[in-house]
Structure 1
Amino acid sequence: MNAFDVRPTLDAPDDDPYLWLEDVEGERALAWAAGQSAKTLKHFSGTQFERDRAALTAIFDNRDNLPLIARRGQYLYNYWRDAGNPRGLWRRTTLAAYMKAAPQWELLLDLDALAASDGEDWIWDGASVEPERRERAVLRLSRGGSDAVVHREFDLISLSFVADGFNLPEAKGYVNWLDPDTLLLSSALGNGMATRSGYARTVRLWKRDADPLTTPAIFEAGFESFQVSGHSDRTGRSERLWFIEQPAFFEKISWIGDRSGPRRQIDLPRDASWRVFGDWLAVRPRKPWTVGGTTHPADALIVISLSSFLAGGRRFETLFQPGERRSLQSFFWNDGKLIITYLVNLVPRFEMFTPGHQEWTRRVLDTLPAEGTVDVWSFDAAVHETNGEVLVCAQDPITPPQLLLFDLNAAPSLSASAILKRSPENFDASGLVVTRHEAVSID
């Protein structure tokens, strides 16, 4: 499963005089980092530094910043920070309320109040909401921004923590809901459960009221790997689980399986990125990949039927080819359609591909903003719940950020978008235009 790693370690060092820095939480390494930070602050501190820091703080704490959202069921969830709430507020509202100038938010958790009550330096690291009933969530709370987190189950009806729920002491790792009473647990908690890097070495099936330390592992890797993880996939005809081993930070070995563990390894390059929806597999090679008699260049986007791939088929169809001035930025599934973002001469372009019986249908999303900085993502947080609606955040040097809602399934065009939010203008941009130019350097 794991190739022999010849890189030096603290137990088997080479002649590197700075190998002690690999012990990132060691006393000597932390003291050295603190010393370097002190030197930097001493060198750059002063009136201008403080002025710049205050200006940046005011920008990040501006109450007019767009409250970005993710939809789960009937609610839109947001995590908000400002000067009065530096740790943040976890809150939710409805779409109708969100579109108002001053939305009425339901406060779920005030992290500043919780930190004060607990006497802890809590930093928000996210929440995993149970996808069936949406009555419970497992919150990830980090002490001071550490990679290790405390997991605490939270009741979204009573807005209180569940005393005897899915709670874990501090450790590096993640949880993923399978049903209201079962989690996939990828955690370094427990004797022998951490890799050499301090991350999760096993994936365990954790039932409610069971002891996580004695919960059986259904997937594991060697101590020399970076970490493992597992997550559920609800886009198929039945539940399937994905198990991921990362031998190194930019490498992944993937298996498809079920609640008993992995069943089949997915024969993809370790450094490729991929996404699955239903019976379709989309792959983006990081390096040129020769498969099925064809060499696909790095950063191409290729697709194949997952069932065909598992049966040995390797006839991929190419949806995107990179070029000298064309580069793929991102791709994601929404309602069974593949949305891609790419740049042409640094200008954002968007396309949607729909699988058919014989071939894929390509649709250029030319009504989305095509200048400035444009980000597109699914409105729904869970990919299996996507219905064609996407959020678009767009801005350029003279246009303040705005958040738009597009329905990719709308016919005949995408011209009927809804502006959900728009930041106020900070200066008069009338008479100004944005143009793009090229220059040739002397070399």
Structure 2
Amino acid sequence: MTSSFAQDHADALLWLEPPYSEQALQWAQRATQNSIKVLQSSKRYAGLLAELTQINASAGQVSEIAFAGHLAVRLHKTASHPRGLLQTATRAKEGLGRWKTVLDVGALGASEGKDYSLYWSNASCLAHHYERCLLDLHEAGGDEAELREFDLSTGRFVEGGFALARSRYTATWVDADTLLVGHTLGDAPRTMTGHPAQALLWKRGTALEKARPVLSIPAGNAKFQALPAGHHGQAVLVQVVDYTTFVLHRVMADGSVRKLELPTALKFGFAANAQRVFAMLGSAETLNGELVPADSLIAARLDAGLGEQSSVELVYRAKPGEVVDSVFGIHVSDQSVAVPMRSGLSLWVDVARLENGRWQSRRVVEPVPGVSSSVVGSGGGVDGFVILSSGFLTPPVQEWVRGDGQHTVLERQPAQFDASGLRVELCKAKSRDGQVVEYFRVGPKQTAGKPVPTLITGYGAFGISMGPGYFTTGFSGAAFGGATLKLWLERGGALVVPAIRGGGEYGAEWHRSAMREKRQNSYDDFHAVAESLIQGGYTDRARLGVFGTSNGGLLAAVAGTQRPELYGAIVSDVPLADMLRFPEMGEGPAWINEYGDPKNPLDAAWLSQYSPVQNVRKGQDYPAFLVTVATTDNRVGPGHARKLAKRLMDVDAKVLFLEPDGGGHSVSDSLQRPDMMAMRATFFIDTLMGPLPAAR
């Protein structure tokens, strides 16, 4: 249980929560400067930074390709253009033409005195020519953004086009002259999480203040999402009650709104075309008189009449041990839907088409051990999908899989390091309650009987699963440390990625088994993997480190405070850390359904049992900690990381703290912040691999 000393000290740290208070910023800046001095004084730092810079220059990041009419589009990030170049190429049956830059995001920011990042999706482009797109420009990595209408064909912003000043917003095309939009500018209604609470129809050429309200959601909801639906005078509004409960509405250009006859217990991740909206079941449901299991994929016809439940179609029935992977998401074209599938740690892709009134699926990408395949591009007026496949040791390839099943390679990245001495293994551990936990182990083929320096990472919440991925790929690569993973593996280190409860590796029930009062299951699974590695002789406490981001940062912090005897080093990145205060920071209210409500005494009791800030104690031998966050992280908020670091400092634990002012919730980016990631690599290598040998 939490000691009175710990709780008293946690309460005394409320001054660290406001992101921009003078006292908190001064503390964060001092702690950051002190930590930079320590990390950059290491004999390894300069060499690691040079290596990381060279990797960035030669490899960069994989630029996911999507289609927009006759064009292919990508946001291409390199060491010289870390903010990205928005580029187009002509699309032909045999592949792609030469890439042409239509927007330099970094140059745009420099010209306006702003630190812009572009979040790109071809769903932002207007059918049927796909030239007019709604660009989502974020400043300093924060979640608030500007909206601007851009013309891909001219490479210019549309004069007098749609534009929104920076706020939390959601928007999509209804037709060429109408947007479905929500924003938080001025006194616009907001939800408890700070997202828009009112949906508007905004006509071209009119002031935003004249936009027509069409639907308001309760302030107690998390938010709503505007989803494109073919741009034929309609859009779909996804009402996110919480992250397990959703209500979907069809919004027409005339302002009429109709609630769709779908179950509300769904998994996050929706897609729509002009005919249907597609969703994944979060629990078993009776549809059209038939019991359909959780994790199945369903579709609702958008043209169905009110109350017509027969409009709900079963696209894919989940089989025992198989689920639709909600992380990589479903993607649709006009004629078909791509379904990323998984069975535990095995992943593949099916495509379903409606044939003779029934949905029929076929395999388009087979499962390969240690490799994941995800759909990164769809729609855009093309019957087919762009599928990205990569693994821990398998360089990425992007293929265009057409409606007739033919595959065309669009881009294949060469190997960025020699993996011949490495292998990927699928291993198992047994958790405290007997649950078997599978995990990937990536490391040297030959260990010479010596303990291997090993890093473990995980997530274990919100039904989010972690799959294999090369270090240059987007979501997966960043989750494993980006280019710093190459530095680690080349020095003889290993990486372990477990499928712990709370994630989505085995479907909705696997997620629910670590929600709220069952949260400890997730941590027990993680500790069990660590114990199996140590007891099996693969590594030892002095060589075992943990890292994680966001909820994974919470996981890392819990690992180091709950079982300090197991771990030698912890990196807790943009974490939640004070679980008795999380609804008061960032978007915390949206996560009460996942974690519990600390204002409820029963919930507070279980939250306090693992909350890192409340469980730091005097006299404990803690592993070395590096806590990282950005001042501009308005998703979780920097207060959690500050309080965790300060609590550890107060009990004389070994802790370093880095808080740059920009970067938002994605601050740990090896391409945009190589110095910060080189310091992180230095921390792990110095702590877990020992000092450099003395020069002879």
Residue 320 (structure 1) aligned with residue 317 (structure 2): yes
Separation of aligned partners in 1, 2:73 and 2:153: 15
TM-score normalised per structure 1:
0.77
Cα deviation code 1:293-340 (max 9, x no counterpart): 6554432335676748941349864733343x4343254334433432
> Could you tell me how far apart the structure 1 residues matched to 2:195 and 2:350 are?
37
Name which of 305, 308, 315 aligns with 1:311: 308
Corresponding residue SS for 1:87 = coil
Q: Report the CA distance between 1:94 and its aligned residue.
A: 1.4
Taking a change above 3 Å as real, the CA distance of residues 372 and 334 of structure 1, as seen in their structure-2 partners, is farther
In structure 2, what residue type is equivalent to 1:221?
A: I
Q: Describe how 1:276-295 pairs up with structure 2 within 5 A.
A: 276-277=272-273, 282-289=278-285, 295=291
- The alpha-carbon distance between structure 1 residues 122 and 240, as it changes in their structure 2 partners (threshold 3 A), is closer
Corresponding position: 1:200 with 2:200: no
Match of 2:246 among 252, 267, 274: 252
Separation in structure 2 between the aligned mates of residue 247 and residue 428 of structure 1, nearest angstrom: 48
Amino acid at match of 1:333: V
Aligned to 2:263: 268
Instruction: Name the structure 2 match of 1:390.
Output: 385
User: Residues 198 and 423 (structure 1 numbering): CA distance in 2 closer, same or farther, change over 3 Å?
Assistant: same
Q: Confirm or deny: 8 A CA contact 1:228 1:245 kept in the other structure.
A: yes
The worse-fitting range, judged by mean Cα deviation, of 268-277 and 255-264 is 268-277
Matches within 5 A, 1:1-400: 46-48=42-44, 51-52=47-48, 55-56=51-52, 58-63=54-59, 65-95=61-91, 99=95, 104-126=98-120, 128-234=124-230, 239-259=233-253, 260-273=255-268, 275-277=271-273, 282-289=278-285, 295-302=291-298, 307=304, 310-313=307-310, 317=314, 319-323=316-320, 325-330=321-326, 331-344=330-343, 346-357=345-356, 359-365=358-364, 368=366, 370-377=368-375, 379-382=377-380, 385-387=381-383, 389-400=384-395
Matched-pair contact (CA < 8 Å) for 2:201–2:214:
yes
Q: Is the 8 A contact 1:66 1:422 kept in 2?
A: no
Partner-residue secondary structure (3-state), 1:409: coil
**Whole-angstrom distance in 2 between the partners of 1:64 and 1:98:** 26
Q: Deviations over 1:381-417 (max 9, x none)?
A: 44xx241x2223223455422222222424xxx5xx3
In structure 2, the residue corresponding to 1:197 is in which secondary structure?
Answer: coil
SS of the equivalent of 2:107 reads helix
Structure-2 change in CA distance of 1:264 and 1:28 (3 Å): farther
1:172 deviation in Å? 0.9
Match of 2:398 in 1: 403
Q: Quick one: distance in 1 between partners of 2:11 and 2:292?
A: 39
Q: CA deviation at 1:70?
A: 0.7
* Consecutive unaligned residues in structure 2, runs of 5 or more: 1-9, 431-531, 536-696
Q: SS at 1:223's partner residue?
A: coil
2:684: which partner in 1?
none
Alignment-derived partner of residue 465 in structure 2: none
2:235 and 2:252 in contact (8 A); partners too? yes
Could you tell me how far apart the structure 1 residues matched to 2:423 and 2:215 are?
53
Deviation readout 1:47-80 (Å, 9 max, x if unpaired): 4456555545544453475432111011111111
**Letter of the 1:395 counterpart:** S
Judging changes above 3 Å, is the alpha-carbon distance between structure 1 residues 303 and 181 closer, same or farther for their aligned structure 2 residues? Answer: closer
Change (3 A) 1:73 1:278: closer
Deviations 1:207-229 (A, max 9, x none): 12211023121111233332223
In 2, distance between residues paired with 1:207 and 1:315? Answer: 32
- Deviations 1:198-255 (CA, angstroms, capped at 9, x unpaired): 21111111112211023121111233332223334129xx643322222334432212
Match for residue 408 of structure 2 among 402, 418, 430: 418
Equivalent-residue separation in structure 1 for 2:93 and 2:79 (angstroms): 24
Q: Say which is worse superposed, 242-251 or 201-210, in terms of deviation.
A: 242-251
The structure richer in helix per residue is 2
Cα separation, partners in 2 of 1:279 and 1:424, compared to 1, 3 Å: closer
The alpha-carbon distance between structure 1 residues 57 and 372, as it changes in their structure 2 partners (threshold 3 A), is farther
Q: 1:345 to 1:55 in 2, by over 3 A?
A: same
Structure 2 Cα separation of the partners of residues 131 and 315 of structure 1: 26
CA pair 176-35 structure 1, distance change in 2 beyond 3 A: farther
Deviations 1:107-160 (A, max 9, x none): 211122212211112222336322234343332211111211122222334433
SS, match of residue 94 in structure 1: strand
CA contact (8 A) 2:288 2:309 kept: no
Distance 1:85 1:428, change over 3 A: closer
SS of residue paired to 2:396? strand
Structure 1 residues 266 and 196: CA distance shift in structure 2, 3 A: same
- Corresponding residue SS for 1:82: coil
Q: 1:112 to 1:285 in 2, by over 3 A?
A: same
The DSSP-based 3-state class of the residue aligned with 2:375 is strand
Q: Distance in 2 between matches of 1:285 and 1:39?
A: 49
- C-alpha deviation, 1:420, in angstroms: 2.2
String of CA shifts for 1:270-315, please: whole Å, max 9, x gaps. 4445545565565422234455665544323356767489413498
- Change in CA separation of 1:113 and 1:64 when aligned onto 2, cut-off 3 Å: closer
In the superposition, relative to structure 1, how do residues 266 and 275 fare at CA in structure 2: closer, same or farther (>3 Å)? farther
Cα pair 2:135 2:148 within 8 Å, conserved: yes
Determine if contact 1:301/1:318 at 8 Å carries over to the other structure.
Answer: yes
Number of residue pairs matched? 414
Q: Structure 2 vs 1, CA of residues 186 and 429 (structure 1 numbering), >3 Å: closer, same or farther?
A: same
The CA RMSD over aligned residues, in Å, is 3.9
CA contact (8 A) 1:87 1:111 kept: yes
Contact 1:98 1:104 survives alignment (8 Å): no
Equivalent position of 1:9 in the other structure: none
- 8 Å CA contact 1:219–1:261 kept in 2: the answer is no
Bigger Cα displacement from structure 2, 308-317 vs 141-150: 308-317
Does the 8 A contact of 1:88 with 1:110 survive in 2?
Answer: yes
How far residue 435 of structure 1 moved from its aligned partner, in angstroms, is: 6.9
Give me the whole-angstrom Cα distance separating, in 2, the residues matched to 1:278 and 1:165.
24
- For 1:379 and 1:112, the matched residues in 2 are separated by 24
Letter in 1 for 2:399: L
State the distance in 2 between where 1:157 and 1:180 align: 16
- C-alpha contact (below 8 Å) 1:133/1:180 kept by paired residues: no
Alpha-carbon distance in 2 for matches of 1:96, 1:241: 30
* Counterparts of 1:405 and 1:271, CA distance in 2: 29
Distance 1:266 1:426 in 2: 49
CA distance in 2, matches of 1:336, 1:79: 26
